Amino acid sequence: MTDKKSELKRAYKENPPLAGIFTVTNKINGKIFIGKGLNVQGRLNSLEFQLKTGTSLNKDLQNDWKKYGAENFIFEIVDYLEQNNKGNNINDDLNELEAVWLSKINPYDEKGYNFKNS
């Protein structure tokens, strides 16, 4: 059992989860939420779980989820960070990538579920 555990740890270190950007799109009204994660698939799964259990902190998204149903939302990973960040802070790179997507899509107010930072 220890060999299996060591093998899993090694495999994880050799293939860490990918950081990136995801979207959640409402098929009924076209509103979009843009999010990010160091483990983007894990973050996306977490948000979907929160919506299913009614615990998402994004109340607008949660309300529309309840109103329109899970079948009317599309969850997608739209961009990944390159893994060869030579000395760069991956959080800074992820924040920059998110800013690019937020600027491109502008998912605020009637167009989306994101909130502008003051």
- Total H helices, total E strands in the chain: 4, 3
* Cβ count within 10 A of residue 47: 20
Q: Where are the alpha helices (DSSP H) in 1-118?
A: 2-14, 40-53, 59-68, 90-105
pTM: 0.85
Residue range 31-87, pLDDT digits in tens: 999 999 999 999 999 999 999 999 999 999 999 999 999 999 999 999 999 876 555
Residue range 93-108, pLDDT digits in tens: 999 999 999 999 999 9
